[in-house]
Chain A
Amino acid sequence: MPAVQETIDRVRKIDVDQYKYGFQTEIAMDKAPKGLSEDIIRFISAKKDEPSWMLEWRLEAYRRWVTLDEPKWARVHYPKIDFQDLYYYAAPKSTPGPTSLSDVDPELLKVYEKLGIPLREQEILAGVQKTDASELEEASDNVYKSGRVAVDAVFDSVSVVTTFKKELAQAGVIFCSISEAIREHPELVKKYLGSVVPTSDNFYATLNSAVFTDGSFVFVPKGVRCPMELSTYFRMNEKNTGQFERTLIIAEEGAYVSYLEGCTAPQRDENQLHAAVVELIALDDAEIKYSTVQNWYPGDAEGKGGIYNFVTKRGDCRGHRSKISWTQVETGSAITWKYPSCILRGDDSSGEFYSIAVSNGYQQVDSGTKMIHLGRNTSSRIISKGIAAGFSQNTYRGQVSAHRKATNARNFTNCDSLLIGDQCGAHTVPYMEAKNSTAQFEHEATTSKISEDQKFYVMQRGIPEEEAIALIVNGFVKDVIQQLPMEFAVEAQKLIGISLEGSVG
């Protein structure tokens, strides 16, 4: 058994220092009192200036939530969460609904600058002041060339700024915070909110429905190809807060949108809760590409602190020939409980799931997907790569099912796990359910360590061991990295390197 002690030593070297987003920012915050009750929900709803139907929707979810127990089936262990010991609303005080960047607290902008999200630069580049239509067109032409990204930045409970809004509006795309959408586009929100993940879906989704504070809303109208990548950056800053964001993306007939999501949080000893809900709706011939780079604080080397990430993500291929593609790179969080799924309702629709889950230290990852084939000629593809190091547990849990009417359903699943060190675990729990004789499902999974032969081959060419391992790991995850938009692919590759630093080099 080669290099065990060596590996353990290396894993030990992994230090809190390696989480470079671990700073916290002193910003005056407006907080609701601790705990959860109908009053708190009324408070949140009032803060957000919501219509009464929204409040009712939240209260109904809350009333259901109190009757539910936490799900226990996942392979994650953590002390019981005291839901009354959390703040459910925290907003930077000085930003009562920012309309432009100049209204935003400069401290906050600094945070995003540190995170490498160039809100200001991009705003300047985009020339928000320009109102002349020709200039705008010129600007949107540039989009393709410069690969600019519209960003919605969410700080604790509120969306602080959304860039490129005007330019997007020109194309007919609505991209704003969900709170704004509830106020400005209630008919759209009312029609689609909860239609993919109903309020009664599961414990965390129900909690989210009751208390969600912000998130992004995207609406791409019929026939529009969204002119740029859309992106949301989530940052959890305040102590003891839970972040409950809600994202709703709708692509109408023939529309296309690519959406990126990134997350970070400061280093804290206590655990923070993050329970998001993401709903995607693709109508006829529409395509939604949703990419996540999740890098919440994973806890320190002893497994202290870190984010509990309980997320419900689901896409509904409601229309014929629609397509939803999930790509995720999961490197952060103490606990990840996340199963981005596709409901393939429309005929000829297709779903994809590409995932890299890297766990180190005492992280616990239980992630995977569900592909529910309902329509005819539907197809799905799952590629999952799990890398476990240190004392972590990395589980792939996925379900593929073909219902009676899903003739010619096709699925291909491949989940590979790589183990680095002998104190970690890698698990594969796939569920396959075929109720139609024309369904064709293939599933394959492997678990192994980096083979000595591969390592030898690379090292023999003069590449030092650490680099050799990094090279092999990157090769291992290549299938998934390729699916990410350019900007994220680079970031993801770096992240994987950082996450495994000390354990593989």
Chain B
Amino acid sequence: MNMHATPQRTLAETALIDAFGERLSLLPGDGAVMLKRDDAIEAIKSGLPTRRIESWHYTDLRRLLTSVPDFDPAAVAKAIAPIVEGSSVLPVLNGVSSAKWAAVEGVTVQRLSEKLTDGSIAPGLDSYGSDDAIGALNTAFVADGYFIDIADGAQLDKPLELQNLQAGGQTHVRLAIRVGAGANAVIVERQAGEGAALVSSVSQLLLGEGAEVTWLVVQEQPDTATHLAQFKAHLGKNSKLTLFVMNAGGKLVRQEVVVKTTGEGADFTLRGINLLAGDTHTDVTMVLDHAVPHTASTEVIRNVVTGRARGVFQGRINVHQYAQKTNAKMACNTLLLSDDGEFSTKPELEIFADDVVCGHGATVTEIDHSHLFYLMARGIDEKTARGLLVKAFVAEVIEELDDEAIVEALEARLDNWFVAHG
């Protein structure tokens, strides 16, 4: 049961360690950054997380990550159109940021490679915990991405779309964004590509006082790619973040959401849709810290599981001792549509303050037969009726976003998936 043996390194672990040796001379960074990289690779050397590590209980990365592709610097990633027409696009193609971009008022953009070279990003490369394997992997290998500063009071009228497009091999990208006090922005994070890649992507967001941001993660990797992503945010006083995560692809996907309310009056909303098909594994893990009094959060995750797909949602809400008057609600609803599919969920509450209202709910079920009957009684065939119900189940979450252009764009992505997966 609890017997320990020093395990032999897996092929993937060995490949990662070897790749680090080979890449080292090409990785940008000053002394401080290189020290962080060394620490990170040491963490990987001690082994990828297994199910014995609580936060990886349902995603045994050591077992699931069976192979690691080589870097392929010659590969060309195809640019794609933004989901909302007219967005300002900042692409990272095959792990390399673009040197040119169209200027947007109030927005300062820098290539992350520059920030790595001058070392100014070094403090942001720390892991958030000993089980932060994605953070470690990214810190070890990250070569590029963007550093974006949105000035105080800036009101962006068009979405800013950050595209991370892989072309096979490995890509390790970091997107760091600071949003100034009172600023307002819609940011789209696209994760896609065409190869059997290993992607690690870390997004860091700092929200200033009273800032309001809607952040959409749209992940549509091919079913050959391994996608390990992390979204980290600190929410300042009276700031508001609406995070929308849509997973509609990838072979092995883990999306971590690590959010901390650091200012009173902060408000966090998470809406997630996981569309799972084929023989894939998708894990969304959230850790939310209510660290100060008077903050609120709501999370709604909807999952559709088909084929032989395995889905995971872990959500932990920590309410710190001084975080009185916290209001936190979490719901995770799953439609399990096939007998070979699996869904595991672990909604956790860790509460150290007494004057709070916290709750979570989770359900796993199949399509409601009375709903199906209602539609079929009106002459709709079973397949169409099922399709309608499943779509309604997830679309409900999208419709909550009250920006018409975004709702339309996301519904289009949803249709895309339904067309591809019947």
Q: Which residues of A contact B (CB under 8 A)?
A: 1-2, 67-71, 73, 200-203, 404, 417, 419-449
Contacts and interface: CB of A to CB of B under 8 A. Distances in A.
Nearest to A72: B2
Given A70-B2, A427-B349, A429-B348, 4 more contacts: A427-B351, A428-B360, A429-B346, A439-B336
Contacts of B365: 439-441
24 contacts: A2-B355, A69-B2, A404-B339, A417-B351, A419-B353, A419-B354, A424-B354, A428-B349, A430-B348, A432-B362, A433-B342, A434-B342, A437-B337, A437-B339, A437-B341, A439-B336, A440-B364, A441-B363, A444-B359, A445-B349, A447-B349, A447-B358, A448-B356, A448-B358
Q: Which of A419, A428, A445, A447 has the most CB of B within 10 A?
A: A447
Contacts of A201: 1
B46 interface: no
A432 B344 contact: yes
A69 B351 contact: no
B1 A68 contact: yes
Contacts of B54: 73
B318 to A, nearest CB: 9
A442 B360 CA distance: 11
B4 interface: yes
B342 A435 contact: yes
Nearest to A423: B321
A445 B343 contact: no
Nearest to B54: A73
Nearest to A435: B342
A431 to B, nearest CB: 5
A203 B342 contact: no
B347 interface: yes
Interface-centre pick from B2, B54, B356, B364 (highest chain A CB count, 10 A): B364
B328 to A, nearest CB: 9
A447 B356 contact: yes
B251 to A, nearest CB: 20
A422 B361 contact: no
A445 B341 contact: no
Residue of A1, A437, A441 most packed against chain B (CB within 10 A): A437
A433 B350 CA distance: 21
B163 interface: no
A401 to B, nearest CB: 8
B97 interface: no
B348 A437 contact: no
B128 interface: no
Interface in B28-64: 54, 57
Contacts of A444: 359-362
Contact of A449 (B4, B334, B336, B356): B356
Contact of A425 (B337, B346, B351): B351
B357 interface: yes
Contacts of A200: 1
Most buried by A among B57, B324, B358: B358
B338 interface: yes
A424 B359 CA distance: 18
A299 to B, nearest CB: 21
A1 B1 contact: no
A159 B358 CA distance: 46
A69 B3 CA distance: 7
Contacts of A428: 347-349, 360
A33 to B, nearest CB: 28
A118 B155 CA distance: 78
Contacts of B358: 446-448
B408 interface: no
A69 B4 CA distance: 9
A426 B349 CA distance: 8
A71 B1 CA distance: 9
A68 B361 CA distance: 36
B363 to A, nearest CB: 5
A433 B3 contact: no
A149 B350 CA distance: 41
A425 B350 contact: yes
Contacts of A436: 336, 339
B363 A203 contact: no
A434 B344 contact: yes
Nearest to B362: A443
Nearest to A67: B3
Nearest to B354: A419
Interface string B275-290: 0000000000000000
Nearest to B345: A432
Given A424-B354, A425-B352, A68 B366 contact: no
A434 B334 contact: yes
Contacts of B362: 430, 432, 441-444
Nearest to A443: B362
Contacts of A437: 336-339, 341, 366
A422 B355 CA distance: 8
A206 B363 CA distance: 35
Contact of B359 (A71, A422, A446): A446
A439 B362 CA distance: 13
Contacts of A68: 1-3
A431 B355 CA distance: 26
Contacts of A441: 362-365
Contacts of B344: 431-434
A17 B3 CA distance: 43
Interface string B1-40: 1111000000000000000000000000000000000000
Contacts of A449: 354-356
Nearest to A396: B349
Contacts of B4: 69
B1 A447 contact: no
Nearest to B346: A431
Contact of A434 (B1, B343, B352): B343
B357 A448 contact: yes
Contacts of B352: 422, 424-425
A149 to B, nearest CB: 37
Interface in B74-109: none
B324 A422 contact: yes
Closest 8 CB pairs of A and B: A419-B354, A446-B359, A434-B364, A69-B2, A428-B349, A443-B362, A441-B364, A433-B344
A417 B352 CA distance: 12
Contacts of B3: 67-69
Contacts of B324: 1, 422
Contacts of B364: 432, 434, 439-441
A33 B354 CA distance: 47
A202 B3 CA distance: 11
A425 B317 CA distance: 13
A442 B352 CA distance: 25
Given A71-B2, A437-B336, A445 B347 contact: yes
Interface in B299-353: 321, 324, 334, 336-339, 341-353
B342 A426 contact: no
Contacts of B57: 431
B1 A419 contact: no
A447 B355 CA distance: 9
Nearest to A417: B351
B282 to A, nearest CB: 15
B1 A421 contact: no
Given A1-B324, A71-B2, A440 B366 contact: yes
Contact of A443 (B1, B336, B347): B347
Contacts of A419: 351, 353-354, 356
A106 to B, nearest CB: 45
B113 to A, nearest CB: 41
Q: Identify which of A1, A73, A434, A440 gathers the most chain B CB atoms within 10 Å of its CB.
A: A434
B321 to A, nearest CB: 6
Nearest to A432: B345
Interface in B191-220: none
Nearest to A418: B354
Nearest to B333: A442
A439 B2 CA distance: 31
A441 B313 CA distance: 15
